[in-house]
Chains A and B, each alone.
Chain A
Amino acid sequence: MSKYRNLIITSALAATLGAAPAFAEKFGLGRTALPEEIAAWDLDISPDGTGLPVGSGNAFDGEELFADYCAICHGDFAEGVDNWPKLAGGMDTLDHEDPLKTVGSYWPFLSTTFDYVRRSMPFGNAQTLTDDEVYAIVAYILYSNDLVDDDFELSNENFLEVEMPNAGGFIVDDRLTSEAHFVREPCMADCKEGTPEVVMRAMVLDVTPEETKARKVQELMDATKPDADRDTAAVAETAVVAEAATEEAEPVAEEAPVEEVVALDPEMIAKGEKVFKKCKACHQVGEKAKNKTGPVLNGIVGAPAGAVEGFKYSKPMAAAGEDGLVWTEEELTAFLTKPKAYMKKTKMSFAGLKKEADIDAVLTYLKSFGQ
């Protein structure tokens, strides 16, 4: 709390706090929160264990849960996939260039891990894990950081005994002292020795998104060929750069699927689009759809299973595809009702759609995206 004491010097604020008992009259708005309501929302867990639910889980079970629910983003060994957070490793790298900050190497409190997994994970399906499952997953994350053995069981009883390697690695904001020298008279002339020179350029690194370059190419084309015939040599030369700029020209291509849509009920499509929000964390549809955590779903209704190009399926899904499984509406309905029951070990960490009407709507929506 020393940070707080630093700030309180401000006299106005000190007065504010001193006046605590003399609060203004109340407006009588709102209603008393019921204990059940507070219990449902007050889930935060403090470093001293306040808020921890009763329960336990071991690293062995956690490994299986992690493979089912977490590995698709965080990797089987919590090492991270693509740009997704790495949860393990990085010990002793904090003073290196590009330190690797993981639960093991950086996070000061275990309570933070439990709190976050229980409330916000799995991504796109938060608050679906039981407390015991969360204990098991947290135990596995500790194990993946070599902080416990594989038979370790984590519970509310032994939670505070786990030592986090970087617990002592933080200091409270000290800018007001360590950077006090930035309070100064600004220099106006001869502020540098010699003539300032360019020592690094963003253009050399070349990581700026293409749109802005594309805009400039567009300007070039406008400036040099203000009228019609743009599809000549200049365009061919700039084709690579202009890729992003062609988006504007694309609506023509989008007209094709519209015909197929005609037979579908627009209201159902709209309803399905809403339901699809539950899927969007992992799946994309439409013209620019790419494989993400889950495969692109264009044309999925009626398509063979496990067949989207470039997507790495779970073994059972790939096998089912090879065995000739086709995503008919019936099969998809069964899958979406309870994915893990339909196909054990599917990568799809989704609890399922409870309402049949939601499934119908989402299938209609998916059908509106031909191929």
Chain B
Amino acid sequence: MSDSFKAKSPSRRQFLSGAAAVGAGVVAGTTAKAAGPDPLITQVQDWASGTGDGVDATPYGLPIDYESDVVRRNVEWLTADTISSINFTPIHALDGTITPQGCAFERHHSGAIELRKQDYRLMINGLVDNPLVFSYEDLERFPRENRVYFCECAANTGMEWAGSQLNGAQFTHGMIHNMEYSGIPLRTLLEEAGLNAAGDLKDKWVYVEGADASSNGRSIPMEKALDDVLVAFKANGEALRKEHGYPVRLVVPGWEGNMWVKWLRRIEVTDQAVESREETSKYTDTLEDGTARKWTWEMDAKSVVTSPSPQSPIKHGHGPLVITGLAWSGRGAITRVDVSKDGGKTWETARLAAPGEKMAMTRFYLDTTWDGEEMLLQSRAMDDTGYVQPTKAELRDVRGLNSIYHNNCIQTWWIKSDGEAENVEVS
């Protein structure tokens, strides 16, 4: 397939990065036939002879140094300033479905603030029977739930609308994380304040905002607010990180990450959408004719192969290969993921590590063999509404080229014969 493609001659950088993987492959891929006894086995190693760290070495543990490249990264040219910017989860290097908090992507509009629990206040006002103020301790006394949900920025994959740009699953699909939240149903808090004053709830909204300078206010229809929205204070069992809204954030299952207001400080019941900055000038989707969709809250079904991928090339030799990735849908549970090795001409169904859960990430595997052939690797998710993840061309047919948000198209990685991978578009 590479014959048909008129590429520019590779730059020195590309040459070097390509050569790197080959070199590494040579070192790593020697387990099949031992040239001689392995000194790692035949000689007593320091770690088998001496001692390691005591239990007081790291009161709160961090990943071992050898994993120091598995970190959030940002793309400097994307935004004017890191304070109002985004970084990316290293999904290429993770497995399973739960994203550790320490490497879960961040998106701030006025920076990650530090707000102590004792300084925390949550106000509910507007069309309620009794406007209330809660302290953090008050929130801990309401019945709470544990739920796993993905949070995806509406702009995830947004840089890829016009063509393949960023070379790595972390950068193309890393504005997402998946955590187990402990929190109170928003419904419980609204009922505590009393909704009789709101009258008919069908045309009512809640306006939610954060304590940071951006406030990042968003309007959420009452129907969603009473359905599955959580006011959360723990993620993956521990306190939220400051960058994810410590001490309290909103969890809006399946809906775009911008609505998951961090440092949540106020919930107002209103009779109209506020039409704040984040729901008019941003997070609206411009179509080809110049009109824009608004209130595009749900995240469509989507998937991506996380390995092999540009940051996670095939380094072992020929033979068994695990192709793996993530799938999710804001409208329900993932029911199936298919994988194509030939750019979408033929597909085979991957194995789901566990049955899909509503609005949570699903891990898929395709256990296969690879003999050095080039692949145009793709994955395609289906959810329980019957929706099948579209190609980029199909999305462009409906939406044109001027959208930024909600790009849920099928991603292609070109796996080369040396195991290196590249982000490409295919015909």
Contacts and interface: CB of A to CB of B under 8 A. Distances in A.
A32 B132 contact: yes
A29 B142 CA distance: 8
Contacts of B191: 23-24, 26
B16 interface: yes
B1 A175 contact: no
A173 B256 CA distance: 13
Contacts of B293: 170-175
Interface in A187-240: 187-192, 194-209, 211-213, 215-217, 219-220, 222-224, 226, 237-238
A3 interface: yes
B386 A13 contact: no
A193 B11 CA distance: 33
Interface size on A, as a range, is 35 or more
A106 B171 CA distance: 28
A244 B47 CA distance: 32
Interface string B162-177: 0111111011000000
Given A200-B424, A207-B77, A20 B290 contact: no
A340 interface: no
Contacts of A33: 123-125, 131-133
Nearest to B270: A46
A223 to B, nearest CB: 3
A173 B295 contact: yes
A45 B270 CA distance: 11
B272 A46 contact: yes
A209 B223 contact: no
Contacts of A251: none
A44 B141 contact: no
Contacts, number: 354
A116 B276 contact: yes
A108 interface: yes
A16 interface: yes
Interface stretch (B53-61, B201-209, B364-372): B201-209
B268 interface: yes
Contact of B80 (A84, A101, A172): A84
B83 A281 contact: yes
Interface in A91-131: 94-95, 97-99, 101, 103, 106-109, 111-112, 115-116, 119-120, 123-124, 126-127
Of the listed residues A112, A186, A196, the one surrounded by the most CB atoms of chain B closer than 10 A to its CB is A196
Interface in B375-407: 376, 380, 382, 385-390, 394, 398, 401-402
Contact of B427 (A108, A127, A197): A197
B38 interface: no
A118 B41 CA distance: 68
B73 A126 contact: no
A255 B79 CA distance: 32
A189 B349 CA distance: 12
10 contacts: A1-B203, A126-B213, A172-B295, A183-B385, A192-B344, A195-B342, A198-B376, A206-B13, A238-B16, A281-B83
Interface of A: 1, 3-4, 7-8, 13, 16-17, 20-21, 23-24, 26-27, 29-33, 37-38, 41-42, 44-48, 50, 73, 82-84, 94-95, 97-99, 101, 103, 106-109, 111-112, 115-116, 119-120, 123-124, 126-127, 169-175, 178-179, 182-192, 194-209, 211-213, 215-217, 219-220, 222-224, 226, 237-238, 241, 280-281, 292-293
